[in-house]
Amino acid sequence: MSQPVAPATGSGRIRTPLPFPTAAKPAVADTQLRANLHRATRTIRAKRARVVDEVPDWEALRDAGSAIKADVQRRLPELLEQFEASATAAGATVHWARDAAEACRIVVALTRAAGADEVVKVKSMATQEIELNEALEAAGIAAYETDLAELIVQLGEDTPSHILVPAIHYNRAQIREIFQRRMADAPADLSDEPAALAEAARAHLRRRFLSARVAVSGANFAVADTGTLVVVESEGNGRMCLTLPETLISVVGVEKLLPTFTDLEVFLQLLPRSSTGERMNPYTSMWTGVTPGDGPQDVHVVLVDNGRSAVLADPVGRPALSCIRCSACLNVCPVYERAGGHAYGSVYPGPIGAILSPQLTGVADNASLPYASTLCGACYDVCPVKINIPEILVHLRQQAPHPPAERAAMRVLSWVMRSPRRWAVALRLARAGAGPLGAYRERRTGARTLRRLPWPASAWTRSRDLPLPAPQTFREWWGKQ
Amino acid sequence: MRIALFITCVNDLAFPATGIAVTRILRRLGHTVDFPADQTCCGQMHANTGYRAEALPMVRNYVDVFDSYDAIVAPSGSCTAMIRDQYPHLHPPATSVAARTYELSELLVDVLGVTDVGAEFPETVTYHPTCHGLRMLRLGDRPLTLLRQVRGIKLVELGDAEECCGFGGTFALKNPDVSTAMLTDKCARVRDTGARVLAAADNSCLAHIGGGLDRHRSGVRAVHYAEILAETGATS
Amino acid sequence: MVGKAVSARDEILARLRTALADSPPPVEVPRRYRRADDRPDLIETLVDRLEDYRAVVHHGIDALPRLLSEVDRLAVPTDVPAHWLAGYGGQLHRDAPPLSPAALDDLDAVLTGCAVAVADTGTIILDAGPAQGRRALTLVPDRHICVVRTDQVVGLLPEALSRLDPRAPQTWISGPSATSDIELNRVEGVHGPRRLEIVLVSPDDEVVPDGPAGGSGA
C-alpha cells in the first residue's frame, strides 16, 4: 500500500443519544438511584483505599503499569503481529475486525460454523461495545450473560451502568424483583439476601454451563510474546465458559496487549485492588491457544479496532488506551455518583468514558462528555495506570464544537482581558454598573447577592445566590493607599 | 525578595477583601508586596472550557507583568494550578515565571518559612480543601497548619472534605443538575459541622458553596482563609 | 487472505501505523516495585490471607485422611500422589478417561496439588503441572481440596510468575467463588467451588513416601 490509511472512528454502543446534562437530569432526580449509587460507590471506595494503602510499592507499580502501556501503544502494530504469530502457533485462530459490525459478523459466522444456536458469555466490555448480543439475536442465536450483574441487566432488559458492576444502579430488593419476574426457575420464596440471590443465579445457569458448546468472552490482557489471553473474574462463570465448551471466541480490543508474560506481575497487582478492592480476585484464567485434552479445542481471537486507531492518533488523548477497565475512576467520581452510568450514553461511563467515548467516535459525536466533569482530579489520583483524565478532558474540550453564543462571549471576554487597559475599564464599569443594585440588595437582604436571574445565569441562581461586584475593586483599594 | 500579588480577576472584582488580607499578612510579616496594575486574568476559564487560543494572550500578559518578580502569590489554588500546570505546555516561555508562582499557603510555609502569622479569630471554622489546591498543587495541610496557629480559632473537621463541591468553573452552568446535587451534599456536610465559618483557598468555590449556604439561610459565612489569617483581633 | 483488495488485518495495522506518525519516543519501564518479599512469616501471611477470603486452612498431611473421610465421591487427577489417598474409603474417580462435566457435577469434591502459592494475596495457582489435572476438574465439583507444600509458597506475585509455564493453561484461585455484584458487598459462593480447603504440608512430608529412593528426610 502506498497510500497511508487513515485511522477510523468506531461504532456501536459508544455514542450519547442525549447530551449528558439532559440525560443526567432524571437520574439526579431519582432518589432511589442516588441512594443506591451513593452506598455502592462509598463501599467500594473504602475497600479500595484499604487494600491500596497496604501496598508499600503502589506508586512504583503505577509507574510501571503506565510505562508498559505507553510502550504498548508505541509498538502496537508490531506487538499485534507478534501476538497473532504466538497465538496461531499455539493453535488459536486470529481474526481482525475493523469495526463493531465486522466483529459481530465474525462471531456470528464462527458460532454457526460450530453448529450452535446459543452461546454463554463471560462479562466483556468489548462485546457490549460492539452490541454483540443484539447481532447474535438478529442471527437467531441466543446469548446468555453469565456474570451475575450482566445477568441482572439482561433479565431486566436494561443496559449496563458501570464497567465492573453493570447492575450497580440496582439494590438488593430491586434485583430480587427482577429475578422473580424474569427468571423462570427462581425460588418462590426468594429473599433479597445477596447470598440467596447469588444461589439463585448459580442454580439458574448451572445446566447451561454444563451443556454449552460455544462461549464468547473478552480478555483483560493479551500477551504478545506468548499468545496468552487472560480473564480476571470472581464468580467462576468465567472459568465455566472458558473451560467447558468446545468452542471459545474471545473479542479483544487491540489495545489490550502486553508485551511479555512477565508484565502480568504488574497488572495483576494493580487491577484487583483498583477494581473490587480485593488483594486478588477469586479467579484468574489464562490460556494460550489450544491445550490438547484441556478446555476448548476450537479457540478464536477477534482483534477489534472500532475507533482505537483514532484514539491512538492523538498523542495527548492516546493514554486513554491504557485503561484496564478497573472502574476506580467511576467509584470516586462525584459526577458519576450523582448522574449514574446511563447518563453517559456509552458502555464506558464515568471519567474514563468521558475521555474514551468521544475519542472512539470523534468528539463531535459525543460533544457533551468532555464537559461532564468538574476537573476535580479524583480520577487521576486513583487511576492504576496514571491516565491524566483531567488533562485529556481539557484537551478534548478544545476540539468540541462550541455553542455560538458561548464562543462569542468567550471571544469578547478574551479581547477585554488580554489588554490591561480594557480590563481596568471593564472592572470599573462592572463595579459602577452593579453599584446601585448591590447597595439596594444590601439594604434589603443584608448581602450583595442576587437570588434570581434570567437564562443563562438562571443555571447559577436556581440553587445559589450570585455575589455582585464589591463596592470597590481591589485595584481601587490599592490605588487609594 | 520581590513579591508580587496576583489578585486574580474574580477576586479583583468581587472579593477585594481577600487581596487586602493577603497584603496585610505579608506586610505584617515585614515583606513588601507589589501589585502590578497591568495584570488581568490567568486564562483558566477560557483554557478549561475549550478556548485555549483565546486564553493565550492572557498567558502572555501574565509573563510580561510578572516575569521580573522573585515570587508571585495568588490567593487561589485553582488559578495557581492553572499557571503552574498548564502554562508550561501552553506557552513554554512561561515555564520560569510559572514555577515562581505560589498559592498563599505555599508562599508562607515553603518560601517564607512561616506557620504563625500572628492572627486571632475566635470562631468555629471548618476548612474545605478545594480540588485544584488539593490534587494539582498538593497543598496538603499547609492551609490548616496556618489556621491551627490562629489564636482563639476552633477548627472542626469537615465530613467528606476532599469531595468536590460541584463548582468546576463553567461546569456549574453547563451541568446545573449534577452541580446542584453535589452542592447540596457539600452544604449538608458543612452544616453538620456546626461551624459558623467555612474557609477555603478559592473564592470561586466559596461563592458556589456560600451561595448555596445563603440560599438555605444556614447562617454559615464562607470566607477565604487569608481573611482569617489577616485578623488580629484589633478592630480595624 | 491473499487476493482481497485490503484485508481487515492489513487495514487495521496500516491505520495504527498512520496513527503513530508522530513517532513516540522509546519508553523505559521503571521496575522499582518489589520483585521479592523479605517477610520472615510467609506461611503466616498466606494463612491469614486465605482465611480472610474464607478459605479453610488445615496444617500437615495428617489432616488429609480426616478431611477425605467426609467425602463420599472424590475426583482426582491421574497423577495424584498415592499417599494422599492412603486409607481413603470412598468412591474414587480418576480423571482417566476424562470425566464429563455432568459426571464431575455429581462428585462431592476434588483433590489436587498446585504449582505455586502467593502469600501476599492468598492466591493458589494451578498450571496443569504435577497433581493438578485439567481445568474442568477443579471447577465443577463444589469442594476443592488443594495440597500446598510450604516450599511452593512465595511472597509476591513477581516471584510466582517466574515459576509458571506461561503456555500452560492457568487457574489462579483466591478463596472460594464470590461476587461483589450486589451493592458491592462480597458474597462467597457462586459458580465455582463454594468450599476451598487448603492443606499446608511441609516438603519433608512429601519426600519420604513419594521420593524415588526413600531420601533422608525425617
Instruction: Give how far A372 is from chain C: nearest CA, Å.
Output: 24
Q: Is A447 on the interface with B (CB under 8 A)?
A: yes
Count other Cβ atoms within 10 Å, centred on residue C60.
Answer: 11
Query: Rounded to two decimals, what is the model's pTM?
Result: 0.95
- Rounded CA-CA distance A245/A298 in Å is 9
ipTM: 0.96
The grid cell for A213 is 458448546
Length of chain B equals 236
Stretch C173-195: mean pLDDT, rounded?
Answer: 89
Q: Which of residues 61-120 of C touch A (CB under 8 A)?
A: 98, 101-102, 105, 118, 120
Q: Residue C217: is its pLDDT beyond 70?
A: no
Q: Rounded distance, CA B86 to CA B64, Å? A: 17
Q: Residues C18-64: pLDDT tens digits?
A: 999 999 999 999 999 999 988 889 999 999 999 999 999 999 999 99
- The reported pLDDT for the residue numbered A450 is 87
Q: Which of A4-8, A301-305, C208-212 shows the lowest mean pLDDT across its residues?
A: C208-212
Q: Give the pLDDT band of residue A4 (cuts 50, 70, 90).
A: confident
Q: How far is A325 from chain B (nearest CA, A)?
A: 23
pLDDT at residue A3, rounded to an integer: 67
The confidence band for A449, taking pLDDT boundaries of 50, 70 and 90, is confident
* Cα–Cα distance for residue pair A457/C69, rounded to 1 Å: 76
Angle, in degrees to the nearest 10, between helices A389-399 and A350-361 = 40
Q: What does the block give as the cell for A236?
A: 467462576
Q: Are strands C116-118 and C123-126 parallel, antiparallel or unpaired?
A: antiparallel
- Distance, in Å, from the CA atom of B3 to the CA atom of B7, rounded to the nearest integer, reads 12
CA distances from C156 to A55, C44, C94, C161, C163 (A): 11, 14, 33, 9, 12
B187 to chain A, any CB pair closer than 8 A? The answer is no
Any chain A CB within 8 A of the CB of C51? no
Please give the residue that has the higher pLDDT: either C207 or C152.
C152
* Residue from the list A339, A381, A394 with its beta carbon closest to the beta carbon of B178: A339
DSSP A377: -
Could you say which residues from 65 to 124 on chain B have a Cβ atom under 8 Å away from some Cβ of chain A? 65, 86
DSSP characters over A223-267? ETTTTEEEEEESSSHHHHHHHSSSEEEEEEEGGGEES-GGGHHHH
Asked if A40's CB is within 8 angstroms of C166's CB, the reply is: no
Question: Would you give the end-to-end CA distance of chain C in angstroms?
Answer: 64
Contact status, residue A337 vs residue A352, Cβ threshold 8 Å: no
Residues of A (305-364) whose Cβ lies below 8 Å from C: 305, 309-310, 312-313, 315, 318
If pLDDT is split at 50, 70 and 90, which confidence band does C208 have? very low
Exposed e or buried b per residue across A63-90, where buried means at least 16 C-beta atoms within 10 angstroms of its C-beta:
bbbbbbbbbbbbbbbebbebbbebbeeb
Enclosing H/E stretch for B208: helix B203-215
| B127 and A CB contact within 8 Å | no
Chains that contact C by 3+ CB pairs under 8 Å? A
Structure confidence by residue, pLDDT tens digits, A64-111: 999 999 999 999 999 999 999 999 999 999 999 999 999 999 999 999
| Residue of A16, A33, A375 to mutate, interface with B, max B Cβ within 10 Å | A375
CA A195 remoteness from chain centre: 28
* pLDDT value of position A409: 95
pLDDT value at A468 more than 50 = yes
User: Cell match 477470603: residue?
Assistant: C53
Average confidence score pLDDT of chain C: 90
Task: Per residue of chain B (236 residues), give pLDDT as tens.
Answer: 899 999 999 999 999 999 999 999 999 999 999 999 999 999 999 999 999 999 999 999 999 999 999 999 999 999 999 999 999 999 999 999 999 999 999 999 999 999 999 999 999 999 999 999 999 999 999 999 999 999 999 999 999 999 999 999 999 999 999 999 999 999 999 999 999 999 999 999 999 999 999 988 889 999 999 999 999 987 54
How far is Cα C98 from Cα A123, in angstroms, rounded to an integer? 28
Tell me what pLDDT residue C214 has: 34
Distance separating alpha carbons of residues C121 and C156, to the nearest angstrom: 8
Q: Which of these, B57, B114, B59, B65, lies nearest to B84 by C-alpha position? A: B59
Do residues A40 and A336 lie in contact, with contact meaning Cβ atoms separated by under 8 Å?
no
Cell 477565604 -> residue = B224
Asked if pLDDT for residue A274 goes beyond 80, the answer is: yes
For residue B111, what pLDDT is reported? 97
Rounded distance, CA B5 to CA A382, Å? 34
Cα–Cα distance for residue pair B34/A328, rounded to 1 Å: 45
Contact residues on chain B for A334, CB-CB shorter than 8 A: 163-164, 166, 182
Q: Are B112 and B30 in contact (CB under 8 A)?
A: no
Give the DSSP letter string of A326-361. --HHHHH-HHHHHH-SGGG-SSS-HHHHHHHHHHHH
Read off the pLDDT band of A2 (50, 70, 90): low
Q: Which amino acid is at B150?
A: V
Asked if pLDDT for residue C16 goes beyond 60, the answer is yes
Are the beta carbons of A330 and A45 closer than 8 angstroms?
Answer: no
Contact B183 A469 (CB under 8 A): no
| Residue A188 CB burial class (10 angstroms; 0-12, 13-18, ≥19) | exposed
**CA–CA dist B77, A78 (Å, integer):** 44
pLDDT at B8: 97
Banded model confidence at residue A231, pLDDT cuts 50, 70, 90: very high
- Give A208: exposed, middle or buried? Use CB within 10 Å, 0-12, 13-18, 19+: middle
Structure confidence at residue C3 (pLDDT):
47
CATH topology of domain C37-204: Rossmann fold (3.40.50)
Q: In whole angstroms, what is the distance from residue C110 CA to residue C104 CA?
A: 9
Question: What 3-state DSSP class applies to B128?
Answer: coil
- Cα separation, A70 vs A418, in Å, equals 38
Tally of helices (H runs) and strands (E runs) in chain C: 6, 12
C-alpha cell at A345: 450514553
Q: Which of residues 6-35 of A touch B (CB under 8 A)?
A: 20-21, 24-25, 28-29, 34
pLDDT digits (tens, 9 = 90+) for A128-174: 999 999 999 999 999 999 999 999 999 999 999 999 999 999 999 99
Report which DSSP code applies to B158: P
Assess whether pLDDT exceeds 50 at residue A328: yes
- Distance CA(A6)–CA(A172), nearest Å, equals 48
Averaged pLDDT score across all residues of chain A: 95
Domain definitions of chain C by residue range: 37-204
Task: Summarize pLDDT for C84-98 with one digit per residue, the tens.
Answer: 999 999 999 999 999
Please give the share of chain A, as a percent, with pLDDT higher than 70: 99
Instruction: Give the mean pLDDT of A371-376.
Output: 98
Distance CA B82, CA B59 (A): 10
Tell me the residues of chain A between 232 and 291 that have a Cβ less than 8 Å away from chain C: 234-237, 239-240, 242-244, 254, 261-262, 264-266, 268-269, 272, 276, 278-288, 291
Provide the edge-to-edge strand list for the sheet that holds B71-74. B33-34, B3-5, B71-74, B101-103
> Which of A63, A57, A69, A267 is CA-nearest to residue C35?
A57
Angle of the A264-275 helix axis to the A31-53 helix axis, nearest 10: 140
The count of residues in chain C is 218
Q: A379: phi > 0 → left, psi -120 to 50 → alpha, else beta; which?
A: alpha
Pairing mode of beta strands C91-94, C73-76: parallel
